[in-house]
Structure formats: structure tokens, C-alpha cells
Structure 1
């Protein structure tokens, strides 16, 4: 639940932060943030795997989502909202640790 909430924030905050610079870049950010984890997955972590990757790649994709959520929220939103997003990302990272340990063995 926390990971999905953080992903949603990244999907909203990234194009929001980039739109004033480049609308195509804003659209591309959403395509990348949604597309990469959809295409690349670790077998056993998702039901359908289009392109199988080792666990560390899946961890890197989650870390990318977390970093984008935090950075884009600080760039685009009020500091209070960005602080909430930062706390959400930190909680998500802590809650993901057991999954990441499992993924490191894949």
C-alpha cells in the first residue's frame, strides 16, 4: 500500500515538476515511471513477467520511484507537502526491506 502510494506520487509529481520546462519530457517521465516496472520484473515478484530481471534491478526501479517522488515533490509542491512525501518515501523504504532482502536472493 505504501509503495503504491509513493508510486502514485511519483507519477503525479514528476510531470508536474517537469511540465513548465517541457511537456514532452513530462509525458516521457510518466511513461518511464510506469513502463519500466511494468516491463521489467523479477520472476516470483509479479504474476506476469514480460522481461525477467534479477532482484537488484527490481530494487533499483523501486528506489527510482522513491527518489523521483521525493525530488519532484520538493521541486513542484509546497514544502509541507514535500515533507509528507519524504516521510512517506522513508516509511516505504523501511517497509520494503524484507521484500528487498528476498529480491536480493533472486
Structure 2
């Protein structure tokens, strides 16, 4: 699990850049279309949670149970926000899926440590 946490942390930090730029573009599109959707804003929240989760994931590879719980909370919130607020910003479902995968694997890591 140490290798997975390092890899997922690095990928999450890299994905932060893509999700942030994509969410800014989606937010501008929502504002110009005046459609009342909040997919771009939700994408920015998911991007920040990806960054935070990536940093915690890199730190959690040698850590204990508390850091895994933090990963579950951070990536879990990112998944919930992404899935519930995506709207027409369909790519946000992909990023929320990545958050869900990381949250589930943090649960697996806790179970495996016992």
C-alpha cells in the first residue's frame, strides 16, 4: 500500500492542475450561458481536495491509522461533491470517481493494517 499511496498522491497532485483549469473553463461557460449550474465551482472544490488528498496521501504512506482516516474524509468529500454537483460538466464525474477509488483504497489500507 505504500507504493500505491505514493503513486496516487503524485497523480492526485498532477490531476489538480488539470481539474482546476478545466473547472475554470466550465465555470466561465456556465457564467456565459447563464444556466445556473455550479459544476465549475464544484470542480474547483474537487481540485483543491485532490491537492490536499495528494499531499496527505504522500505523507500517509508511512503513517498510521489517523492519516488514512483523513484520506477517507478528504477524498470522500471530493467524491460526494463531484458526483452530486457535476451537472453538465460530465468530466467532474471522472475526477469524483478517482476520489472514490482513493477513499476506498484508504479503507482497504486501514483494514489491512489490523
Q: For this structure pair, what is the TM-score category when the shorter chain's length is used for normalisation? A: 0.3 to 0.5
Query: TM-score under structure 1 normalisation?
Result: 0.43
Query: TM-score under structure 2 normalisation?
Result: 0.41
Q: Which has the higher contact order (CA 8 A, sep 6+)?
A: 1
